[in-house]
Amino acid sequence: MDNPLNPNRKKQRIDDLAATAGTGGGAGSVAVADLTVGDAGHIAESTGVSLIASAWSRLRRDPVFLLGAFITLAFVLLAIFSPLIAPHDPTAGLLLKEVRPQTNPIPGARPGYPFGADSSGRDIFSRLIVGSRQTLIVGVMATLFGFIGGLTLGTLAGAIGGWVDSVVMRVVDVMLSIPSLLLAFSVAAIAARPSQWTVIVAIATVQVPIFARLLRGSMLAQRGSDHVLAARALGVKPSAIVFRHMLPNSLSPVIVQATLVVASAIIDAAALSFLGLGNPDDRQPEWGQMLGKAQQYIYDHPALAIWPALCIIVVALGFTLMGESLREALDPKSRR
C-alpha cells in the first residue's frame, strides 16, 4: 500500500510545494489551487509495481535471503562445473597402494589430497565436489516431481470441488497417514533394482500429498474470495478463473514449501542412500551414499562421515534460509 508518509513521496511533495511556492509570488492563491488534489486523490506518475516486483525489492535487501541465495548459487555452480573443479578423477583409486586393510584402511590427508582418500583409495575432496551434482539432481528432481503431482491433485480438488475434492483428499489423507520415511522406503523397496531414479520417485511420492493439501487449502480460500466472485460476476470463463485468478494467487505458499522441500529431499535422499536403498553404484558419488559408506569407519575415521554430512547441512541450510525469507516476503501481512 502507498504509505501516506512514505519518505520519498513526502520529499517529492515538498519539492513540488517549494517550486509552486517560489513561482507563485503574488498569485499565491492560484498556485495553491493547483496544489489541491482532484476528487479521487493523488496518483503518482510512475509506472506500477507488481506484487512480485515489490517482494523482490524487499528480498534484495534481506541479508538472510542473500546468504541463502549465495549458498544455493554456489552449490548449483559447483554441481554444474564439478568435473572441471575436481582436482582428481573421483572414480580412480589413486591412493589404493596406501590402503592397508588391517592397519590403516583410510589414507589420511596429504599434499594434493586435502581430505585424504576412502577405502578404495579415491580422493575424498574430488568425490565431495562431484557428489554435489547427484545430490542436486536428486533434490531438485524429487521436489519437481512432487510439486507437479501435488499441483495436479491440488488443482483438481480445489478447482472442481464436490466429490472430486472428497476422493482426492481421502487418497491424500491415506498417503499422509503413512510416516514419510516409511513411505519412501516402501516405494524405493518396490523397485527391482535400486537406482538414483528410485530415490527420486520415492521422495517425490512423499512430497505429493503435502503439496496437494497445501495447494487445495489455498485454492479453497481463493474460491471464497471476493475477487474470484467478482470474476464470476463479470462473466469470466470458469477455466480462466481457475488458471488466471485462483491458481496464481494460491501458488506463493506452495513455492515457499518447494524451496524448503529441496532441503528435506536432499536429507531424505541421504537417508535412503545411507540405508542402502539408493544408487548402489559408488562410481557416481553422492553425499548420502558417501555418508552411508563411512558408517563402518565412523569410530576411527569420523572425518569420512563429517565432510559429506557438513555439505548436506550447509546446502539444506541454504535452501531453508531462502525459503523462509521468501515466505516472509510473499506474506501479504508483512507488506506495509
Find cell 496544489 and name the residue: 35
Binding residue for other proteins, selected from 225, 275, 303, 327, defined by CB under 8 A: 225
Is residue 164 a contact point for other proteins (CB under 8 A)?
Answer: no
Q: Which residues contact 205 (CB under 8 A, 6 or more apart)?
A: 146, 149, 175, 183, 184, 187
What distance lies between CA 12 and its chain's CA centroid? 39
Mark the segment that binds other proteins (CB under 8 A) among 110-118, 154-162, 232-240, 271-279. Answer: 232-240
CB of 175 to other proteins, least distance (A): 19
Q: Are 116 and 110 in contact (CB under 8 A)?
A: yes
Residue 68's H or E segment, with its range, is: helix 63-85
Note whether 179 and 206 are within 8 A (CB).
no
Interface with other proteins (CB under 8 A), residue from 57, 190, 227, 302: 227
Amino acid in position 216: R
Give me the 182-221 binding string for other proteins, x by CB under 8 A, dash otherwise.
Answer: ----------------------------------------
Q: Is 237 one of the binding residues for other proteins (CB under 8 A)?
A: yes
Query: Which is closer to other proteins, CB of 54 or CB of 104?
Result: 54
Contacts to other proteins from residues 41-70, by CB under 8 A: 41-45, 47-51, 54, 61
Question: Grid coordinates standing for 326?
Answer: 521468501
Q: Distance (Å, rounded) from C-alpha 178 to C-alpha 184? A: 10
User: E-strand spans in 229-328?
Assistant: none
> Which residue among 23, 235, 283, 299 contacts other proteins (CB under 8 A)?
235
CA atoms of 181 and 33, how far apart (whole Å):
71
Choice between 167 and 190, CB closer to other proteins: 167
Among 100, 167, 232, 255, which residue interacts with other proteins (rule: CB under 8 A)? Answer: 232
Using CA atoms, how far apart are residues 164 and 141, in angstroms rounded to an integer? 28
Q: Does 10 bind other proteins (CB under 8 A)?
A: yes
Contacting other proteins (CB under 8 A), which of 19, 160, 174, 229? Answer: 229
Q: Are 278 and 194 within 8 A, CB to CB?
A: yes
Interface residues with other proteins (CB under 8 A) are: 1-7, 10, 13-14, 17, 20-21, 24, 28-29, 31-33, 35-45, 47-51, 54, 61, 225-227, 229-238, 240, 244-245, 248-249, 332, 335-336
